[in-house]
């Protein structure tokens, strides 16, 4: 039996690292990808019982992802599990984001997933064609932000909404051509992963401007929400493999948050203006407005 291979982007921390740990327990070869060299080196050193290929890659760069795909093909052949997970965050009022903010966030969060899909899906389909026993699975990390579109995180919302649309389309497209390759969509809510500190890996050619008041408020709000999360990255990694094992498309870390999605869909169905996201906790909304409107 051919040993299975997992490709994991954003593997140096958070969901990526915890998913790699579970993949290793299943005896899978690991392809670990991250833009942060020290975190990747530390992560790769953990795994001594499986084969590991680790590469520092900016997933937004087509040429770097193409080189990765070639290296995977040469070393392991077609992967069995692809986790397009690398992601970064940016907040503040949407008109205050610089072009470099858009380029950075869309590059990593959207084009990183696009490259993973366009490069590894054909490899998986080719493997399925020659081996009836082959099974492959692609998991893309979006966010509840891509479904709930909260205020003061516009660039991030847009990027994650794109991943939702891309992955749903991937699911349908795969079903048109094969029964052997599947797709799932991870939509986490607030989980302590380090994404709130993603500026640490911002590339020098896409510098950020001096933070605005709304960006400072958004950063403080996100820091508090992320660090206070009770669910762990390891919990979410377990959900990922449960979805793979059961061929389940939607992976929600916090199902209770779906009430907000239902309200949003009802707004659209009823031609109703978008509901205040803080309607149930008006004191939070009022506090944010006060900070943003302060002279």
| 212, 287: one domain | no
Residue given tokens 């995180």 in the structure block: 153
Task: Return the pLDDT at 196.
Answer: 62
Please state the three-class secondary structure of 124-189 as a single string: HHHHHHHCCCCCEEEEEECCCHHHHCCCCEHHHHHHHHHHHHHHHHHHHHHHHHCCCEEEEEEECC
Residue partners of 53: CB distance under 8 A and separation at least 6: 29, 30, 31, 32, 71, 72, 75, 76
- In this structure, the answer to whether residues 98 and 219 fall within a common structural domain is yes
Checking if the pLDDT of 178 tops 70, the result is: yes
Q: How many domains does the structure of the chain reveal?
A: 2
Q: Are residues 144 and 185 in the same domain?
A: yes
DSSP state of 198: G
The verdict on 114 and 227 lying in the same domain is yes
What are 2-23's pLDDT values in tens digits? 799 999 999 999 999 999 999 9
**Residue 168 shares a structural domain with residue 47:** yes
DSSP strand pairing (81-84 vs 136-141): parallel
- For residues 222 and 194, the answer to whether their CB atoms sit within 8 Å is no
- pLDDT value at position 194? 66
pLDDT of residue 295: 53
Q: pLDDT: is 252 or 198 the higher one?
A: 252
48 and 68 share one domain: yes
The DSSP code for 111 is I
Looking at the fold, whether 150 and 268 belong to one and the same domain comes out as no
Say how far residue 15 (Cα) sits from the centre of its chain: 9
Q: Which residues are catalytic?
A: 156
Domain containing residue 13: CATH number? 3.40.50.720
Instruction: Round the average pLDDT of the chain to a whole number and report it.
Output: 94
- Distance, CA of 61 to chain centre: 16
| pLDDT score recorded for residue 197 | 74
Q: Is the dihedral of CA 278, 281, 282, 284 positive or negative?
A: negative
pLDDT at 20: 98
How does pLDDT run across 74-133, given as a tens digit for each residue?
A: 999 999 999 999 999 999 999 999 999 999 999 999 999 999 999 999 999 999 999 999
Is the same domain home to 219 and 248? yes
- Do residue 271 and residue 181 come from a single domain? no
**Rounded CA separation 218/227 (Å):** 14
Higher pLDDT: 6 or 1? It is 6
Q: How confident is the model at residue 277 (pLDDT cuts 50, 70, 90)?
A: very high
Q: Which residues pair with 54 in a beta bridge?
A: 32
**β-strand partners of 181:** 136
Taking a C-beta distance cutoff of 8 angstroms, is the pair 153, 89 a contact? yes
In a shared domain, residues 190 and 274 = no
Q: Are strands 181-187 and 52-56 parallel, antiparallel or unpaired?
A: unpaired
Q: What is the pLDDT of residues 195-214, one digit of tens each?
A: 667 787 888 888 888 888 88
Query: Which domain covers residue 278, as residue numbers?
Result: 257-295
Residues 268 and 129 in one domain: no
Same-domain check for residues 180 and 272 = no
Q: Is the pTM of this model over 0.85?
A: yes
Cα(8)–Cα(89) distance, integer angstroms? 19
């Amino acid at each position: 039996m051919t040993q299975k291979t997992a490709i994991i982007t954003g593997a140096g921390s958070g969901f990526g690292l915890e998913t790699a740990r579970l993949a290793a327990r299943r005896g899978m070869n690991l392809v670990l990808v991250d833009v942060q060299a020290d975190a990747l080196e530390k992560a790769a050193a953990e795994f001594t019982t499986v084969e590991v290929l680790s590469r520092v890659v900016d997933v937004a760069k087509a040429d770097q992802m193409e080189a990765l795909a070639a290296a995977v093909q040469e070393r392991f052949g077609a992967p069995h599990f692809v986790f397009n997970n690398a992601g970064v965050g940016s907040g503040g009022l949407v008109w205050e984001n610089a072009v470099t903010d858009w380029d950075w966030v869309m590059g990593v969060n959207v084009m990183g997933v696009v490259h993973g899909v366009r490069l590894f899906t054909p490899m998986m389909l080719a493997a399925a064609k020659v081996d009836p026993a082959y099974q492959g699975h692609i998991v893309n990390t979006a966010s509840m932000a891509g479904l709930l579109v909260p205020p003061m995180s516009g660039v991030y919302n847009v990027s994650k909404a794109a991943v939702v649309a891309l992955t749903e389309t991937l699911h349908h497209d795969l079903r048109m051509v094969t029964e052997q390759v599947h797709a799932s969509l991870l939509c986490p809510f607030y989980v302590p992963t380090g994404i709130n500190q993603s500026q640490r890996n911002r590339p020098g050619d896409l510098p950020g401007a001096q933070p605005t008041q709304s960006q400072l408020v958004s950063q403080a709000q996100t820091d508090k929400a992320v660090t206070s999360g009770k669910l762990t990255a390891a919990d979410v990694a377990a959900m990922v493999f449960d979805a793979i094992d059961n061929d389940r498309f939607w992976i929600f870390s916090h199902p209770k948050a779906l009430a907000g999605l239902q309200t949003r869909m009802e707004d659209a169905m009823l031609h109703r203006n978008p509901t205040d996201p803080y309607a149930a906790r008006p004191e939070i909304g009022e506090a944010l407005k006060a900070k943003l409107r302060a002279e």
